[in-house]
Amino acid sequence: QVPAEHSKEVNDCKNLIKTLVMGMKTIIWSITHAHLPRHQGMHPQALASQSSVTQVFKGMRGDEVWKASGVLKSGVHCLALFKEKDEEKEMLNFFSQILAIMEPRDLMDMLSICMPELFECMIDKT
């Protein structure tokens, strides 16, 4: 239970975390789709020559996955602020949306990177 004199600060912190998580969802979606070519208004010959030179993929590069894994590592600790059932459910939903928009390979890599911290959190909570 949060003391009454700190409830405004805690609520402000919760709202900031929600905003950051929703923003990270947008950023991760954008990074995941940033490596796809833009076909609008391009001549078919230009597309053919471009595709042979440019390696096209959907998802994140290794360094991007590593940086994005900070969302999961830090987010697990931030969830401790959300004690009420409804707000905890809402935050878990936000985090699951981030994970759901990722490519399966990127998600597996992120979980591999975060596994030690996630395991420690599970041990600490029991």
Quick: pLDDT tens for 54-102.
567 789 999 999 999 999 999 888 988 998 999 999 999 999 999 999 9
12 Cβ contact partners less than 8 Å away, ≥ 6 residues apart: none
Q: What is the dihedral of CA 10, 14, 17, 22, to 10 degrees?
A: -160
- pTM strictly above 0.85: no
Q: What is the dihedral of CA 38, 71, 61, 118, to 10 degrees?
A: -140
Rounded CA separation 71/55 (Å): 27
Rounded CA separation 69/111 (Å): 8
pLDDT of residue 14: 95
